[in-house]
Amino acid sequence: MPSKDAAKESLAEYEERLYGCVSRAVRRWFIEIAPRIATASKRLRASAICDLIGEEVRKEFDDEDGMRLFVKYERILVSIAGELVIRFKKLDRRFRTANYPTQTALQFDNAQPPLPLGIVPPGERITIGYKLDRAEIQLESVWVLQQRDGGIEWLYPITPTLADVKRLPQPSKEERRVTARRQPADTKRKKKDGGQPD
């Protein structure tokens, strides 16, 4: 298990570019895709942003020495010099990557081979997670973390450069009211059944 300092050292030369990949993907969702989907669920949004992050990572690192890209569980993984294996996830306000971690996710976190859908490249496994602001209309922060058994071993933020800090266009008051009133169909159904929305 790498220490936080060891992970920071391995990621140091890539951090700004990794932040840029996440930032561009989130911006693409809100500007290019979200306006076309009137009732996008949180699950759909998270899945689409992860796919967009994968596209940005491929464009940024596909021919990079020391970087290898893998597609596992329909998600992109990044291997850095055989030392670290990175996945990308959405984080909630308490830095959790999911309401209920799947067995595959736990196996990734706990480095338990073999995983059912193929072999993960060698290296210590960490997560780069992004958090949206409370209104969920723009990127708030990007974090590096390592998890074990559903808990967090350590984490630290990736600090963006000024070039990376680009605020999304702010919705009007009427758009905010419409968004507050609107609920995706799957959320309404879960509330009716007594469950919790994703």
Which pLDDT band holds residue 69 (cuts at 50, 70, 90)? confident
Convert the pLDDT of each residue in 145-169 to its tens digit.
Answer: 988 777 888 999 998 765 555 554 5
Rounded-to-integer distance, Cα 47 and Cα 44, Å: 5
Rounded CA separation 154/157 (Å): 11
Average pLDDT taken over every residue of the chain: 77
Poorest-pLDDT segment among 12-21, 91-100, 189-198: 189-198
Q: Comparing C-alpha atoms, which of 62, 56, 58 is closest to residue 26? A: 56
Q: Which positions ≥6 away from 123 have C-beta within 8 Å?
A: 79, 80, 82, 83, 84, 85
